[in-house]
Structure 1
Amino acid sequence: METINLWTDQVPNEINEKHHAVQTSDTSNNVIRLTDVTNPILEVYKPDNAKNNGASIIVCPGGGYQILAIDLEGYEIAKWLNTLGFTAFVLQYRVPDNRLGALNDVQRAIRIVRSKAKDYNCNPEKIGVLGFSAGGSLSARASTNFDKKTYKKTDTIDENSCRPNFTVLIYPAYLSTGENNSISPELSITNQTPPMFIFATTDDAYSNKGSLVLSNALMEAKRPVELHVLPSGGHGYGLRKGNAAAETWPVLAEKWLMNIIK
C-alpha cells in the first residue's frame, strides 16, 4: 500500500509531534476506529490499469471529528471506487477536535493529488471528494472554502488549486448549524461551488435537515445538485449489506459519478 505524507515538515495548526494514528479499543459493529492523528496521510488505492477511468476521489471517513471509521468509510469505499475505475485516496485527517487542522489536511490532499495526477494516469481536472458524516462535513467545507488560505504555503505543491471538481456527501453531518437550523456559517455557496451528490435518510437526525438545507442553498445559487432522501436507514452504514440505504446509495452515486466525469 502506497502512503503519502501530507506535510513533509511542520504540520500547520498542530502542537503535537508527528506519530502514527492510534487505533482505539472500540471495535463495536466491526469497525476499526483511529484517533490521535498528528501526521495526516493519504493511502492510495489504484484500480486495474484496464479499468482506470482517469478520475481520482479523496475519501474522507466520518467519526464526529473525534475518530475516523477508517475501514467502514475509508478502505471499503476505496476498494468499491476501484471497481468503478477511480483512483482512490483515503485521507487520515486530524482528529480529535481539530477542525481547522482537518480543513488544512483536505485542502493539502487535493493539491497533492492534483500535482501527482499524471503519475496515476489521472486528469488533474477530475478530482473529487467523497465524505461520510463528519467526513461529509469536511468534504462540504473543502468544496466551499477552496478560495480561503487556511495555512501558509509550504512548497510548490501549494500553488495548485484545492477546489474539488465534484463532491459526494453520504449522510453528511454538521451542515445546518446556523441559526434556526440554517446552513452552517462556514459553508459559502458561490457560482464556483462544484457539483454535488447528496444522500441521506429521513430517520437520520445527523444529516436529514442539513442535506435539505445545503441542497436548497445550491439550488438557489443555480449550482448542480442531486439529492436523494430515503425513509429509513439510520446513520453510519457505509456500504455494508443488510441496510437498504447502504445498498441504494452506491447505485445512484455510480450513475452520477460516471456522468460527471464524462
Structure 2
Amino acid sequence: MILKLKRYNCLFILMFSSMLFAQKEGLKIPLWENGAPGFENLKDEPEQAQDWWVRNIHNPSITAYFPEKPNGMAVLICPGGGHENLVFNSEGKDAAEFLNSIGVTAFVLKYRLARTKDSPYKLETHIKQDAERAMRLIRSRAAEFKIDVNRIGAMGFSAGGEVVAMIAYNSNNILKDSSDTIDKIDAQPNFQILIYPGPLFIPKEIKSDAPPAFLLAANDDSCCSAPIVELLNGYRKANVPVEMHLYSKGGHAFNMGKRAKTNSLKTWPQRLADWFEDNDYFLK
C-alpha cells in the first residue's frame, strides 16, 4: 500500500512539474497546419537560436502564455530585431510574463524574417500574412483560450511595431477568396501597443476606425522616437484615443525595462497597466 502511494505521489509530482514547465515555456502553435502557403516545403527546417536571437523561421507560429487568473484580455506580441533576427526572449517572453502577471493572455509571434541573407520573404506580403493569420487564429480559438474576441490587442517592439502597423490600420482585411474559415475572421487588433516602433507602414492619415494606441519611446532614440510623435499627431487629428510616453533618455531597445539605466524606463510597464485600467480593458 505504501509503495502504491509513493508511486501515485511521484506520478503527481511529475505531472505537476510538467504543467509548470509547459506554462513557463509556453504552448507553441503553428499558424498553418501544413506550413506557410507557398512555402510548405520549408515547414520542417529547424529554427536557429542563440543568446538573444531566433532566426531561420520558416514555419511561423504563436507561443501562448496563460495567466493564473485570466481577465479575458489577450495581446499578440511582435518582437523586434530589424527583420534579420527575432528578439524572442526580452521582447517576447518577458512581455508575456508581465502581461500574464496582470491577467492578460499573451501570444508571442514568430514571424518570417525578410532581411536575412537570401530570404525568400517580403515584408509587405509574407510578414503581413503572418501577423494577420496570427490575429485570426487567436480569435478563432477565443473560447478555448478564455478570451474576449473584442479585447485582443497587438504589441510591437521596434521592427515588431512595423509588423503591428501592417494589420492595425485596415479594417477591411477578410480574405474573401479563401476556403479556410479562419481567413474569414477579422485580423485588425482592438488596440495597439507600440514600443519604440520602426517607421515603416505608418499611414499618412489615421482614419477614425484605427485602434486606440499606447505609444512609448525615448526621445534620444534616433531611429524610433519620431514614429510615435507622427502617430500621436495623426491620432489627435482623427480624434481616436491615444496615449504617448516620450522619455527624455534611454536610447533604443530597452525592452521591458530590465536593461534600462533610468528609473523611469525600468518601471514603464506599469504605465501600460495603468492605461489598461484607465480605459476599462480589464472589465469582463
TM-score bucket (shorter structure): 0.7 to 0.9
Residues 185 and 166 (structure 1), Cα distance of their counterparts in 2 relative to 1, 3 Å cut: closer
Does residue 39 (structure 1) correspond to residue 56 (structure 2)? The answer is: no
- Distance in 2, Cα, partners of 1:23 & 1:247: 30
After superposing the two structures, state which structure 1 stretch, 87-96 or 252-261, moved more.
252-261
Structure 1 residue runs without a partner (length 5+): 176-183
Which residue does the alignment assign to 2:184?
159
Q: Distance in 2 between matches of 1:143 and 1:79?
A: 24
Alignment map for 1:131-150 (pairs within 5 Å): 131-148=156-173
- 1:21-100 matches, within 5 Å, as 22-24=47-49, 27=51, 32-48=52-68, 51-97=69-115, 98-99=122-123, 100=125
TM-score, structure 1 length as denominator?
0.87
Displacement of 1:246 in angstroms is 3.5
Q: Distance in 1 between matches of 2:127 and 2:222?
A: 23
Q: CA deviation at 1:259?
A: 3.1
Q: 1:112 to 1:246 in 2, by over 3 A?
A: same
* Structure 2 stretches lacking a partner, 5+ long: 1-25, 116-121
In structure 2, what is the equivalent of residue 207 of structure 1?
224
Match of residue 174 from structure 1: 199
Structure 1 vs Structure 2: percent identity of aligned residues?
34
Per the alignment, in what secondary structure is the counterpart of residue 236 of structure 2? helix
What is the rounded CA distance, in whole Å, between the counterparts of 1:114 and 1:71 in structure 2? 24
Larger Rg: 2
Aligned to 2:3: none
**Residues 5 and 75 (structure 1 numbering): CA distance in 2 closer, same or farther, change over 3 Å?**
same
Q: Distance in 2 between matches of 1:188 and 1:18?
A: 38
1:221 equivalent in alignment to 2:241: no
Partner of 1:181: none
Separation of aligned partners in 2, 1:63 and 1:211 = 18
- CA distance in structure 1 between the partners assigned to 2:82 and 2:38 by the alignment: 19
Relative to structure 1, the CA distance from residue 221 to residue 41 in structure 2 (aligned partners, 3 Å threshold; closer, same or farther) is same
Q: Distance in 1 between matches of 2:253 and 2:131?
A: 21
Cα separation, 2, equivalents of 1:152 and 1:168: 31
What is the aligned counterpart of 1:194 among 203, 206, 211?
211
For the Cα contact (< 8 Å) 1:16–1:38, is it kept in 2? no
The structure-2 alpha-carbon separation of the partners of 1:195 and 1:21, relative to structure 1 and needing over 3 Å to count, comes to farther
- CA-atom RMSD, angstroms? 2.1
- Report the counterpart of residue 250 of structure 1 in structure 2: 269
Residue 2 of structure 1 deviates from its aligned partner by: 1.6
TM-score, normalised via structure 2 length: 0.80
Give the counterpart letter for 1:34 in structure 2: V
State how far apart, in whole Å, the 2-side matches of 1:61 and 1:86 are: 17
